[in-house]
Structure 1
Amino acid sequence: MGGRSPAAGWRCALLLLLLTTMAITAAEGRFVVEKNSLRVTSPAALRGVYECAIGNFGMPQYGGTMHGVVVYPKANRKGCMDFGDSGLSFKPKAGGLPVFLLVDRGDCYFTTKGWNAQTAGAAAVLVADDRAEPLITMDTPESAGKEHLENITVPSALVSKRFGDDLKTALENGDMVNVLLDWRESLPHPDERVEYEFWTNSNDECGAKCDMQMNFVRNFRGVAQVLEQRGYTQFAPHYITWYCPEAFILSKQCTSQCINHGRYCAPDPEQDFTTGYDGKDVVVQNLIQICLFKVANESRKPWLWWDYVHDFAIRCPMKEKKYTRDCANGVIKSLGMDIDKINTCVGDPDADEDNPVLKAEQDAQIGHGSRGDVTILPTFVVNNRQYRGKLDKRAVLRAICSGFEETTEPDICLTQDIQTNQCLENNGGCWLDNRNNFTACKDTFRGRVCECPIVNGVQFVGDGYTHCEASGVGRCQINNGGCWKETRNGKAVSACSNEESKGCKCPPGFKGDGIHSCDDIDECKEKLYCQCNGCSCENTWGSYECGCGGSSMLYIREHDTCVSKVANASVGWGFLWVIFFGLGFAGVGAYAVYKYRLRSYMDSEIRAIMAQYMPLENQDTSSHQRTVERADI
């Protein structure tokens, strides 16, 4: 084994990977093809919604849509050559729709087709399958080239052979084929928090994919940490391992690529068993990263995983022969993590027993519910649905943002480079109060919603499209609750009342709808008041004035009557004198009663005291008689 050539080592690695992949497949695993919808809007014969498979390269517009016109080239129909060589360009003219280039499957990599379509100016690439089969995921092979892997930004989709043939027939007949690519429901968005997983690897010698992964971690780290710290997301990293078939446990391939006696394996980083690091080194470093996350999560700081992975990639690269456990421990200490807890979690890689952490990782690889097996690295799983597309900060952030329920997404999801604010054009077709610039248009990641706003604590109610009005306490402070209001001669009158939760009502003295107008009621003309003999009526704005003939008469509004001012004064003073004298007599009477009762009380008290020292005559006789009686006894 020691003298095996690199090519022979690579063949052994492929054999091991094939055997272990077959073992996983036998465990009833399954691969789920992630899809988006394609809606044909014209011609009428093709109008409808069709499924297409999202490619594992480019940048799908998760949460959004893209409208374009389909073009099938007359030459280079498989898209394997540069379209510029034949002078073809698919850049739309000013005011034209984006071009979705339709190419045939076969003869070259999917990524090559996508790259050639992008460089020719196409906004998206549709690949028509060349065989009648269920849709598959277009992947990015290692040999496709770093240029294609990192630089393709247009979205891609695979369509079925039958649908592809229908598109070609329509185009050859001269029909203009308009389609809408729709990713709005490609990922679930049930609530205000997104749960996502990053399936990754600590190996940094896997070529273009490893380089892309390290760049992604460097760029996405800050965003991921902020989302996690503010409670918008719940994140977890995961790592793929395979187990060695029992018949090969003692082979060189398994002993060098696996730990725990063949239970957990990873491919050789250099694809050569004779040089550099082995697969088991990768498994151990993966295990350290999982355990660091578990310890950080228990201390409620899961975002420290991003710092560790970032720093480890810089400080402990394979190329510099620093991909060791000692180097990992140095990074852990620099972050202030509890290294003893992490080592306890890692356990003994040489033990002939299950490692509970890695066993849980292998179980997690198998798909559950709507999620299929995780077999492509690196990849994201957002709300239990696998992400497809380029591992790019903006593309992944779009996918995460599409996982939020409308109106609950964080501000970073509403920035201009992530989505288009539809409220900026024609107010999104929603209600708008031009006077105060109140709008029912609320920007969301998927577009906009027309929802009556809350302004200064006051809730507006209505359909959000044509009508919104303030409701509840304080509504009259905002645009007068949408009600009529007018001021004359310093007197303000309003049809809005805070005592009413909604609606407008003209106040007493006015009539109208309360919204556009309230007209003064002429109480005099309608003979509602001032109907007494001798009364005169004068209408005022919102009220009336009644008078009586002559200056000696006074009008009493409550009784609608006139009374004499003089009589009223006489009666008034006479009544006051009666009260005054009455109070005086009552006071004198009360004083006399008080003096009589006080004098009687004093007399009785004095008599009682004098009786103790100077007995009265009848008291002495009784005393003498009692003395004689005692002597007789």
Structure 2
Amino acid sequence: MWTMGRCGCRAVAMVVLLLLAVPAWSTFVVEESALMVTSPESLKGKHQSAIGNFGVPQYGGTLSGTVSYPSVNSKACEAFPTDQFKSVPGQRPVFALVDRGDCYFATKVWYAQQAGAAAVLVADNKQEKLITMDSPEEDPAASQFIQNITIPSALITKDLGDSLKKALSDKEMVSIKLDWRESLPHPDKRVEYEFWTNSNDECGPKCDAQVEFVRNYKGVAQMLEQGGYTQFTPHYITWYCPQAFIESKQCKSQCINNGRYCAPDPEQDFSVGYDGKQVVIENLRQLCVFKVTNDTGKPWKWWDFVTDFQIRCPMKEKKYGPECAEEVIKSLSIDVGAVQKCMGDPNADQDHPILKHEQDAQVGQGDRGDVTILPTLIINNRQYRGKLDKSAVLKAICSGFEEASDPPACLSDTLQTNECLENNGGCWSSGDLTACQDTFRGRVCQCPLVKGVQFEGDGYTHCEAKGPGRCKIGNGECWQENRDGVTKSACQDDNAGCKCPVGFEGDGKNTTNGCVDINECTRRTKCQCPDCTCTNTWGGYDCQCGGDLLYIGEHDTCISKQSQPSKLGWFVTLIVLAGLAVLGVGAYVVYKYRLRSYMDSEIRAIMAQYMPLDSQNESQNHMADEI
């Protein structure tokens, strides 16, 4: 039993919690989906409906069914007979239309699901703008079934609800198509999403569901991030302490940085367990783990840290805190010093850049409302509504990719039916190649990219490989045949079309008679000389000459294999030899003459040294007379 003083303290604590948890600037955006009434004719048209914040909305898809309104238990606050809304085989699913009031929204949907409904439409009981149907935190019984709700639900206006009930009372069939294809934007080939969470694990069923989700979704999240398909950012909600309460015991136990960043007490009891201040510090640590790992190019390690921290450092085992957290950080080879530096001093009377950014990010921008509920997913800047479940969240994220750019994780059998399996989805195909691509929003016919070669065409009736390497893909849709180890092909990488090789004729297409061998022998286009014998071959011909003759293809003629020189040849040879002989004799005579002259000159020079020659005496006498 609570004591009077303790109750007073708890009352003050709850006042502070309310001040912290409901900032004056908060706004809430209702996420909607399209609802199309397809019959009766008088009600045909498009309406908006508010997506319930539980169950599994069919993001990226549609669901059609007929509407049923119960004559008894119209507010669905009690269980229905098990087959109340169960569809008959061969007929469309049944949507339960129920009235708002007397019990929680989640309770209505649960009872309708138990009775076989494929979806639930809750008709508002007053004229007002649409609101979001949320799961009841204050209802302990809801925790027993809320995670088992697997059908979509939506709130519709009172006017639309009255119109549907009137048509049903007039015995008219009411058919409706729920459309979630545009509930989330899907502008490009990458999905940006945020997960607003909390390190506190003592907040009851919602915390348990969050822990379970993180563990189950971790593998998919890391695969998407490592493949570059997504850009993920974790966020943590923090509140500020009102100025009037900064010095109070409550704010000091729940806040850091002099009341700037606060979190509610985990147990909502200041006298036991952990304080909100410890939660804020741990939230900051997890943000810094993401920053450090993101700076090193491995942001997906955040998922490893968070899941390991949940397992190794739970509050219930009194392990929650810095010692255990840093052991986990070390085990994952994350720089502890860098994380500590990022966290800074929680007692400093100044803004912390990371936590200040978190508070600013809580404020809605554009079509996105403020983040006021934990946990919350924001996908492509639009708040996700529905069950926090691996398959449901992945389905929503997959609907955020541009058409035909879904990653492999979005094409698993657990998420969709492959429309390309039956008749190739009505798209072009050739052998194992197909233009059918099964996406989260249905199949599309788009010419494929195979081994770096892009096919071009309309995707429905025609696709053709283009550019270098195209012959490696189905031989470019051209004729090809192999005989006795020899392959002939009509495909050429530098030619967009098909052209039969030399020795063949035809259109070159990938058919039995795409290229036909030309019989050069019967057409008498080759091997025409009198002594030739022609034999046709595959892609060519063989020409043989009779007797001792050799076939010369360039001149299409036969010549003798042995060469016979002519008389003119012998005559020319003799003349050449004779000329060479004359040149040799002439050279020898000149040589002998020059040698003899040289020897005479040398002998005369030697003799002149020892006796005067006649010519010498005459020369001397002549010179004396002149003197």
What interval of TM-score do these two structures reach, taking the shorter chain for normalisation?
Answer: 0.7 to 0.9
* Residue 496 of structure 2: aligned partner: 502
Say whether the 8 Å CA contact 1:4–1:274 is kept in structure 2: no
* Residue 375 of structure 2: aligned partner: 378
Say if 1:23 and 1:454 are closer, same or farther in 2 by CA, change over 3 A: closer
Which residue, 175, 185, 208 being the options, matches 2:182? 185
Q: CA deviation at 1:359?
A: 0.9
DSSP-derived class of the 1:74 partner: coil
Say whether the 8 Å CA contact 1:6–1:272 is kept in structure 2: no
Say whether the 8 Å CA contact 1:483–1:495 is kept in structure 2: yes
Aligned positions of 1:53-202 closer than 5 A: 53-84=50-81, 89-144=84-139, 145-202=142-199
Provide the C-alpha distance between the structure 1 equivalents of 2:253 and 2:485, rounded to a whole number of angstroms.
Answer: 94
Say whether the 8 Å CA contact 2:20–2:262 is kept in structure 1: no
Counterpart residue type for residue 498 of structure 1: Q
Provide the C-alpha distance between the structure 2 equivalents of 1:133 and 1:19, rounded to a whole number of angstroms.
Answer: 27
Provide the C-alpha distance between the structure 1 equivalents of 2:383 and 2:596, rounded to a whole number of angstroms.
Answer: 112
Deviations 1:186-234 (A, max 9, x none): 2233333333221111111111101111111222223223333343333
Aligned positions of 1:417-432 closer than 5 A: 417-432=414-429
Q: CA deviation at 1:499?
A: 6.1
Q: CA deviation at 1:490?
A: 8.5
Which residue, 414, 433, 440 being the options, matches 1:438? 433
* Residue 47 of structure 2: aligned partner: 50
1:352 aligns with 2:349: yes
Provide the C-alpha distance between the structure 2 equivalents of 1:226 and 1:611, rounded to a whole number of angstroms.
Answer: 108
Provide the C-alpha distance between the structure 1 equivalents of 2:282 and 2:174, rounded to a whole number of angstroms.
Answer: 52
Q: CA deviation at 1:388?
A: 1.4
Give the TM-score, by structure 1 length.
0.80
Structure 2: gaps (5+ residues): none
* Residue 284 of structure 1: aligned partner: 281
Say whether the 8 Å CA contact 2:105–2:133 is kept in structure 1: yes
Say whether the 8 Å CA contact 1:315–1:322 is kept in structure 2: yes
Q: CA deviation at 1:372?
A: 2.2
Q: Which moved more, 1:87-96 or 1:474-483?
A: 474-483
Say whether the 8 Å CA contact 1:485–1:492 is kept in structure 2: no
1:258 aligns with 2:252: no
Which residue, 229, 233, 248 being the options, matches 1:232? 229
Counterpart residue type for residue 73 of structure 1: P
Q: CA deviation at 1:70?
A: 2.3
DSSP-derived class of the 1:103 partner: strand
Counterpart residue type for residue 501 of structure 1: N
Q: CA deviation at 1:472?
A: 4.6
Aligned positions of 1:277-356 closer than 5 A: 277-356=274-353
Provide the C-alpha distance between the structure 1 equivalents of 2:76 and 2:601, rounded to a whole number of angstroms.
Answer: 140
1:12 aligns with 2:18: no
Aligned positions of 1:528-607 closer than 5 A: 578=568, 582=572, 585=575, 589=579
Say if 1:477 and 1:132 are closer, same or farther in 2 by CA, change over 3 A: same
Say if 1:56 and 1:523 are closer, same or farther in 2 by CA, change over 3 A: same
Q: CA deviation at 1:23?
A: 3.8
Say if 1:591 and 1:158 are closer, same or farther in 2 by CA, change over 3 A: farther
Q: CA deviation at 1:107?
A: 2.1
DSSP-derived class of the 2:342 partner: helix
Say whether the 8 Å CA contact 1:423–1:448 is kept in structure 2: yes
Say if 1:483 and 1:539 are closer, same or farther in 2 by CA, change over 3 A: farther
Q: CA deviation at 1:393?
A: 1.3
* Residue 205 of structure 1: aligned partner: 202
Counterpart residue type for residue 355 of structure 1: H
Provide the C-alpha distance between the structure 2 equivalents of 1:368 and 1:456, rounded to a whole number of angstroms.
Answer: 43
DSSP-derived class of the 1:89 partner: coil
Q: CA deviation at 1:57?
A: 0.6
DSSP-derived class of the 1:311 partner: helix
Q: Which moved more, 1:466-475 or 1:364-373?
A: 466-475
Which residue, 395, 399, 406 being the options, matches 1:398? 395
DSSP-derived class of the 1:291 partner: helix
Deviations 1:277-296 (A, max 9, x none): 22222112211211222222
Provide the C-alpha distance between the structure 1 equivalents of 2:387 and 2:310, rounded to a whole number of angstroms.
Answer: 21
Q: CA deviation at 1:142?
A: 0.7
Provide the C-alpha distance between the structure 2 equivalents of 1:601 and 1:47, rounded to a whole number of angstroms.
Answer: 127
Counterpart residue type for residue 157 of structure 1: A
Structure 1: gaps (5+ residues): none
Say if 1:589 and 1:4 are closer, same or farther in 2 by CA, change over 3 A: farther
Say whether the 8 Å CA contact 1:317–1:323 is kept in structure 2: yes
Say if 1:544 and 1:403 are closer, same or farther in 2 by CA, change over 3 A: closer
Provide the C-alpha distance between the structure 1 equivalents of 2:348 and 2:270, rounded to a whole number of angstroms.
Answer: 22
1:449 aligns with 2:438: no
Counterpart residue type for residue 452 of structure 1: C
Counterpart residue type for residue 442 of structure 2: G
Provide the C-alpha distance between the structure 2 equivalents of 1:603 and 1:211, rounded to a whole number of angstroms.
Answer: 127
Say whether the 8 Å CA contact 1:204–1:210 is kept in structure 2: yes
Deviations 1:424-453 (A, max 9, x none): 1221111233xx343222222332222233
- RMSD, aligned CA: 4.7
Counterpart residue type for residue 183 of structure 1: W
1:221 aligns with 2:215: no
Provide the C-alpha distance between the structure 2 equivalents of 1:497 and 1:587, rounded to a whole number of angstroms.
Answer: 61
Q: Which moved more, 1:321-330 or 1:90-99?
A: 321-330
Say whether the 8 Å CA contact 2:478–2:491 is kept in structure 1: no
Q: Percent of counterpart pairs with the same letter?
A: 56
Say if 1:42 and 1:23 are closer, same or farther in 2 by CA, change over 3 A: same
Q: CA deviation at 1:361?
A: 0.9
Say whether the 8 Å CA contact 1:508–1:542 is kept in structure 2: no
Which residue, 405, 409, 412 being the options, matches 2:409? 412
Say if 1:524 and 1:318 are closer, same or farther in 2 by CA, change over 3 A: closer
Q: CA deviation at 1:58?
A: 0.8
Q: CA deviation at 1:136?
A: 2.2
Say if 1:612 and 1:208 are closer, same or farther in 2 by CA, change over 3 A: farther
DSSP-derived class of the 2:108 partner: helix
Say if 1:579 and 1:449 are closer, same or farther in 2 by CA, change over 3 A: farther
DSSP-derived class of the 2:134 partner: coil
Which residue, 257, 272, 276 being the options, matches 1:275? 272
Q: Which moved more, 1:368-377 or 1:494-503?
A: 494-503
Q: Which moved more, 1:50-59 or 1:452-461?
A: 452-461
DSSP-derived class of the 1:53 partner: strand
Say whether the 8 Å CA contact 1:258–1:265 is kept in structure 2: yes
Q: Which moved more, 1:508-517 or 1:60-69?
A: 508-517
Deviations 1:493-520 (A, max 9, x none): 9893426633345678887655465789
Give the TM-score, by structure 2 length.
0.81
Provide the C-alpha distance between the structure 2 equivalents of 1:41 and 1:102, rounded to a whole number of angstroms.
Answer: 16
Provide the C-alpha distance between the structure 1 equivalents of 2:554 and 2:33, rounded to a whole number of angstroms.
Answer: 77
Q: CA deviation at 1:111?
A: 1.0
Deviations 1:138-157 (A, max 9, x none): 21221232123211111122
Q: Which moved more, 1:599-608 or 1:211-220?
A: 599-608
Provide the C-alpha distance between the structure 2 equivalents of 1:407 and 1:38, rounded to a whole number of angstroms.
Answer: 25
